[in-house]
Amino acid sequence: MSDARSDIFARIREALKVKAPKPHLKTDANPGKTSEVAKPWLPDGGETADASLAILSEQLAKLKAVLIRVPDQAAAVKAVAELASSKNWKKVAYHGHDLLRPVASGLSCETWEADATFDKQRLEGCDAGITTCESIVAQLGAILVSSATSGGRALSVLPHVHVVVAEASQVVPDLGSALALAKARHGDQMPSMLSFITGPSRTGDIERILVLGAHGPKELYLVLVG
């Protein structure tokens, strides 16, 4: 008996002997690159940095994510500290990153560099997780985190609140740009997880009524520096 793999491949090759007509595409763009072809048809991500920031801000508001814009690093530290005390966080986990260590030091509650000594049970007991990100997609209000830049896989999803601290220069216009940037940065050594986070976790499973915080964070804050 032949193995399943060769059987399936034989079936596929046999099936594809008869061709199916190709869908018609009215465009002059390079047909090899989907994002380039579809760019003028997809939602706008802004042509300039300012336009992108304006779209991002509108998208995040619609998603019920909170955008906090600050001029510099010191102001970011202050903004997160204020958030922590107003929300009464007791335990905060953060990703060990130069941008985040001063933020953690600025908090008066218990803080823990989660990726230095990872413990899933301890992470489950944290009120908030603070991470950096790879990039931010203005077009969709999506924040791209990865296991490399956000303290692994669970830190950005297990705690009840997720805070992302990022530079304004990390905002890209659209999804195609974010994917291209990730590929350029990591090549064939992609982090084991790349995740686009578009607003706080949500569900509509009960009577199609929107509820935030299904399994992931109920609140999402983006602190944008610069």
Binders of other proteins among residues 21 to 40 (CB under 8 A) are: 22-27, 33-35, 37-38, 40
Q: Pick from 28, 47, 50, 207: which binds other proteins (CB under 8 A)?
A: 207
Residue (of 109, 104, 81, 85) closest to 94 by Cα position? 104
Rounded to whole angstroms, the Cα distance separating 191 from 149 reads 9
| Interface region with other proteins, contact rule CB under 8 A, candidates 46-54, 81-89, 100-108, 120-128 | 120-128
The residue whose two tokens read 């030091």 is 105
Among 42, 54, 61, 74, interactor with other proteins by CB under 8 A: 42
φ/ψ of 203, rounded to 5, equals -145, 155
Site string for other proteins, 49-88 (x = CB under 8 A): ----------x--xx-------------------------
Q: Which of the residues 153 through 192 are near other proteins (CB under 8 A)? A: 153-155, 157-158, 174-176, 179-180, 183, 188, 190-192
Lookup: tokens for 181: 């940037």
Q: Between residue 91 and residue 110, which ones bind other proteins under the rule CB under 8 A? A: none
Least gap, CB of 138 to other proteins (angstroms): 11
Distance CA 46, CA 56 (A): 9
Closest separation in Å from C-beta 25 to other proteins: 5
211 binds other proteins per the rule CB under 8 A: yes
Output the six-digit token pair for 174: 């659209």
103's CB contacts (< 8 A; 6+ apart) are 76, 77, 80, 94, 130, 165
